[in-house]
């Protein structure tokens, strides 16, 4: 039963993680492949062609895996201590609360964690919703991927942002971190982010969780939010709780208390978890699969698809 649950979940996050690293060319190839098979009324198409945020007050609508976003804000491509990666995907949109959190974190991390700044991966589309490629979640503007590569001390060019690879901090056998790339600053970074009050969960590779279990100090309450998941060896995924006042946002059950370092973690290093059976391709979503309010955020099927423009 546990396996059946995870089989569905793998589609949501494991697959997304495999593609999170894709260069612009690889991303375009995946996009073309998906487009060739999608029905014309697929929600992925309807949300994928929206180029601007839905006007109105910010509101996360639905669940992280089935929803949309009103009143999104864009994370600027450059800030004092951050740079947006893979800009040609145009996925730096999010709930203003998440955007503000990323900006605040980026500013305090050099002093608090010895982390020079954030390389920010996918957040969400301008109106959230399901995406043509990659993620099962990231639909309501409360999820963001952050690279495990420290920000370099210079501004990357648009081409570099679309092409360079992130740093893998997990060993090839997936049993532990790679001591050649993992640093004490990685632990300090994840701890500083996990201590943020609005944070619901952080997804990391199980090997990273294993390292944190070893390296965390006696005050371990923050560890509850660090959740092992497939992939997430090049980036970690932060997820905010539903903002209070977003009445249509559907929260996820909070993670169980405790540091999560016991038996629950051991399972991730079993054969069943390390080498799961291949998942069937993700089924396209229809507007009817999303909360009713999401239908109002997209224009009807049959119009030209918005392909995000060149690197910005
Ligand atoms: Zn993610």
Q: Which residues surround ligand 1, an ion (CB under 5 A)?
A: 145, 237
pLDDT digits (tens, 9 = 90+) for 61-90: 999 999 999 999 999 999 999 999 999 999
Measured in Å, residue 202 CA sits from the centre of ligand 1 at 9
pLDDT digits (tens, 9 = 90+) for 230-265: 999 999 999 999 999 999 999 999 999 999 999 999
User: pTM of this prediction?
Assistant: 0.89
Measured in Å, residue 12 CA sits from the centre of ligand 1 at 9
Asked if pLDDT for residue 16 goes beyond 70, the answer is no
**CA proximity to 262, closest of 298, 209, 202:** 209
Measured in Å, residue 295 CA sits from the centre of ligand 1 at 24
**CA proximity to 122, closest of 253, 264, 238:** 238
């Amino acid at each position: 039963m546990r396996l059946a649950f995870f089989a569905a979940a793998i589609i949501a996050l494991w697959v997304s993680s495999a593609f999170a690293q894709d260069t612009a060319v690889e991303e375009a190839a995946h996009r073309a492949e998906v487009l060739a098979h999608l029905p014309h009324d697929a929600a992925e198409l309807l949300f994928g062609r929206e180029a601007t945020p839905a006007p109105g007050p910010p509101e996360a609508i639905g669940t992280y895996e089935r929803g949309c976003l009103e009143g999104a804000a864009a994370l600027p491509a450059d800030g004092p201590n951050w740079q947006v990666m893979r800009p040609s995907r145009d996925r730096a949109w999010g709930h203003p609360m998440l955007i503000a959190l990323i900006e605040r974190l980026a500013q305090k991390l050099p002093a608090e964690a010895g982390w020079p700044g954030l390389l920010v991966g996918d957040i969400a589309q301008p109106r959230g919703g399901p995406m043509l490629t990659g993620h099962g979640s990231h639909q309501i503007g409360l999820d963001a991927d952050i690279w495990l590569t420290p920000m370099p001390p210079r501004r990357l060019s648009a081409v570099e942002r679309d092409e360079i690879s992130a740093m893998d901090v997990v060993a090839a056998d997936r049993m532990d971190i790679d001591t050649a790339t993992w640093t004490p600053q990685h632990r300090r970074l994840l701890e500083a982010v996990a201590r943020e009050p609005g944070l619901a969960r952080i997804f990391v590779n199980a090997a990273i969780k294993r390292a944190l279990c070893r390296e965390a100090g006696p005050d371990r309450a923050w560890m509850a939010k660090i959740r092992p998941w497939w992939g997430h060896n090049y980036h970690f995924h932060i997820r905010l709780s539903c903002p209070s006042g977003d009445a249509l946002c559907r929260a996820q059950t909070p993670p169980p208390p405790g540091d999560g370092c016991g038996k629950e973690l051991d399972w991730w290093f079993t054969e069943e978890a390390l080498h799961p059976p291949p998942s069937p391709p993700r089924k396209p979503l229809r507007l009817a699969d999303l909360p009713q309010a999401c239908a109002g955020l997209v224009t009807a099927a049959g119009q030209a698809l918005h392909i995000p423009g060149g690197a910005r």
